[in-house]
Structure 1
Amino acid sequence: MGKGGSLIHKISFQLIALAALLMVTVTAVLGEVSYSFAKRELIESGKLDLQHIVGNAVTMLEHLDSQVKSGELTLEEAQEKARTLLNGPKLDEHKNMFYDYKQTSFVYKENGYVFAFDSNYKVQLHPLQPLGADFSKMKNSQDQFVIRDLVKISKSSSPSERFYEYLWKNKGESKEREKIAYVVYFDAWDWMVGVGAYKDEFYESLKILKYVTIAITAVVSILGLSVFYFLIRRKIKVLEKLQHVSAVVAAGNLAVEPISYKTKNEIGKLTDAFNTMIQNLQMLVGNIKEMGMKVSKASAELSALSEETAATSDEINRAVQEIVNVNSSQAAEIEKLSNQTDSLASSVDNLSKQNKLILDLTEHAATAVENGKEQVSVLQRANQASIKSSNEISIGITNLYTKVKEISNIVTTIEQIATQTNLLALNASIEAARAGEHGKGFAVVAEEVRKLAEATNLSTGEIQQMIEGIERETEATVTTMSQTISISDELNKAVQDTEKEFAQISSAIANIINAIRTSSKDIDVIHQGMRNFIEATATISSVAQQTSASSEEIMASVDEQGNAVQTITHSAVQLNELSEQLNQLVSKFQLKD
């Protein structure tokens, strides 16, 4: 078990194992690629063979069909002859076979027999199925309606589309296998003619290639490993020698001879570097022995010096502590003054901001007043125009009222004329009646004139009513216009008063803005003075803090120096002990005399 474990960890074994793995992998990959390529080519070749068999079968069927058409054979005789030619001799008594297809030339290898089905999926030619058997509902384990699909693709115009792959199990077989079929539709007899073969029949000859590939892989691997071992054997021996010498050096023996291996490869460079390392180690150990003696002497002197330095550091520490106490009190007072100054500066700053805010609001108010003055001017102009328009409308309505009065007088005159005309027409009618037959024509005219006079009288009455309504509306409008003109005069006076008030407000706001700006300048002067005072206070505080910090740093430095002196003293003791230990360790290494 121990030898086996040590063999596995040897680099020679690992290199040979790696080389063997690479060789086996490469040859296996090449073999697999070759096998896959050959398998694919054999399948394609087998598919062409199936296509040729079906083509020859169809040619034979066409010949038999020509004999049927010429009367040499009946259709039934021709079809039965096709069965014996394509499926072999008919078997009278056989459980699983109706035709001995292995005795016909229309077969691919052992089980690639020819078959035919009609469009109703019934058997017309098959060595293993009875004639007329219905396969319309037959499905394989993948739920494929195989016969339906074959009949469908047999009518395809492209030969490449008439290949079909499916799972199939013949009578007497225990499980389904992959099968490839090629079919053609023979329209004269309504036959789907095809031939199928199991996929493994296409490449069964590849089994020999598999065994040959395995044998070649084994032979190539053995030869390659032999050559590889011969090439690396000397290099492995050099590595083993390096390992042995390294173990001797690790045990403390530096009195070893250099390893001789003069090559320019990595192992040669490793050997040269190893020899150089041994030489450097020999020099290093010699120098360490010499330095160990010097360190022991120096550590004793360092211990004495550190004790004197410790006493001086204590005196400096006391003096610096007094300076730190004074600086701390001064810094506290300056810090208090700085805080009060900051509060005052903050108040002045807030006052300045409030003053600027008031100035902004006042300027906005001034702008609003100017806008108000402009709006009042616009309102005044609009009101003047309204008064002018109202006066013109009032004049027009007065004139209209006068015209309406004149029209009313005219209508009254027309009404009187119509009344007189009516009376005259009535008198004329009476006179015409007295005249008898001679006055009938005049009576008709008089009657028409009377009717016209009555209609005129009615119309003038309606017109008179309308005119009276217009007179009333006109009088009301004149009254309203008078009130409107009066209100417009009052509005014009109010607008003038408002304009005067806006002028006074604008003047007052201008005075306020000037006062605020003057106040802002005074506040800015105060603010700048506070800033200068704060900067001066900050400078004093900074100087005080720096002084205090410097004093604390000095004190810390003195403390650190004291600690360092103690550390140096302790280190000197440890250094002395380490130098003794180093001398003991170095004494284990053996150097050449």
Structure 2
Amino acid sequence: MSIKIKNILSISIGILILFILILFSNISFYNSKRENVETLLTSTNQLIKSNFENFFENTSESLTFFANDANVKGALSKTDEENAWMLKIFDNIVKNHTNILNAYIGLEDKRFYIKPDQKMPDGYDPTIRPWYINSLKNKGTVQISEPYEDASSKQILISLSLDVTDQSGNFIGVIAFDLRMDKLAKALTEYKKFNSQYSYLLNERGITLLHADRTKIGGDISDNDLFKKATEPMGFIEYEYEGDKKIVFYEKSDVKDWIYYTVVDSKEVMQDPTSSLIINLSITVITTIAIIVFILFTSNKFITKPLHILSEKISKFGKGDLNTVFDYKTKDEIGKISNVLEEMKSNLTKIVSTILESGEQTNKSAEDLSALAVEFSTTSQELAEKVSSIRDGASNVSANVEEVSSGVEEVASSATLISQAAQELNDSASKSELSANEGSKTIDKIKEIIKEAVSESKNTEKNVNKLSSNAENVGSIVETINSITEQTNLLALNAAIEAARAGEAGKGFAVVADEIRKLAEESRKATEKIGDILNDIKNGTIDVDNSTKNVVNVIENISTSMIDLSSKFEIIQTSVEEMNSGIQNLTASSQEQSASAEEMSSAMVNVTKLIEEISDQITEASEGINNQSDGSNNVSASAQELSALSEQLLEQIKFFKL
């Protein structure tokens, strides 16, 4: 569905909704206005009712008051001259009460007194008048007559009448007031709100007591529906009179069975909702058609056509043509969409270019990484071979250390013999004076022992020198391992950098490179431990060498002393004390030599253990290097996979036309 049709449908729906709203608005306005009219008629009618009932009540009270006046009560027994005071009262009543037209009394003897003065017809008999007969039948209460024709003026009047009794309570006549119909009719229009509004008053028999139209006073409408429908205390009636629709509010009196009516023409107060609706709808239709034409013209020029052009460009853009230009520069929503699309195109072009460059660089890096992995694998194999050689060298070192340990044990044994010989020499010195022959033999034995000690000491010195040389060789091997480890660590670092450049695809290779770096670090630490151990071995061999030299020197001194002893054996008796002192020194030295030999033996045991640990660590390093070789193979496979993904990405990027 095109935008043009959608706009027409939207406008049509809006018009339909507007029509419905106008219809309901007119109906609501009609009902609201009717309620206002009913409220207004109700309040007006109630005001009229209240005023009239107050008037009749006040007038009735005045009539009752004057009926009880002594001058009135004695009127029957008085002459006309004596009733002058009563006439003055009647005259004052008329003058002071504007609504009262006449005040009068009809006596039982047919006399009639009235104010203002009027000429009555000949033979006028008040006792046969309606007002007189009505009060005579209903004594004790004020009676309101139906409208009747006045005998004197021939006007239609309404009278209030009350029977009069003398001081003894005997009926003497009827006193009455004639009401001014013009004043009462005017009171009916006092609260008029509409031109067609009027009010009237009916009694219980349907006789019109008061009406704005004085010609209708006294009329009988008891057969009219207007009277028959007034069955409730109050209500509304709609009826037609002479072709006009009327709205009537009625309310019955609370005191008498009268009915107050207020009438108004419906066409004045209630505008026809149908005609109003037609007018409003006509205006709405004309306005809407003009709006539709304007909207369609404007929509086609400023919305539909630009949207069609923009739709074609978006279609090209959706097919990957990044050369599409969104150049609609208006400030409306279409212009904003065009600007956003142009900005999105620019950003997408930059992103695609960046992805293309990154893909090519990633592909190249993957190839370099694959070559590096192959090189690393070869290096790992060479490193494994060198570690194997180191392990073999460590085994040789272990064997040499065992030989040194054996020599040290022999030195310890020789030291023990020397110590024993020194003790024996000491004993012999003590007995030198008694057994010279035995001393000579002992000296010979000592010479032989000294020769053996010198020989053993020299052997020990050679073995220690050999051990020191081997330790230096192992140190060279350890330095070689350190160099290889540093190269491995450097290769792992380069591999990690390349993996980081590869991004998500290089994460697996980064893990392998990190493992290689850890193994290289462990190898470096192991070689450092080996170096420390070798330093300890060197220091130990130096100490052993120094001790051996000291032993040789001591033995040579002993040999010289023994030569002197032998050459001067003749004078042994004279120098026995000096010889005893020398023997004691020899004993102390031999004990020190024995202790040193034991310490050397203990040190050799520790060296043997350290070399065994070095051998174990070299074995672990060999296994780690093998693992590095496997990791490099995995890196090579990952690099090949990364290269394939890069090529696939480059193929997908070709969808866009830059």
Same fold (TM over 0.5): no
TM-score by length of 1: 0.35
Identify, as 1 or 2, the structure richer in helix: 1
Identify, as 1 or 2, the structure richer in strand: 2
TM-score by length of 2: 0.32
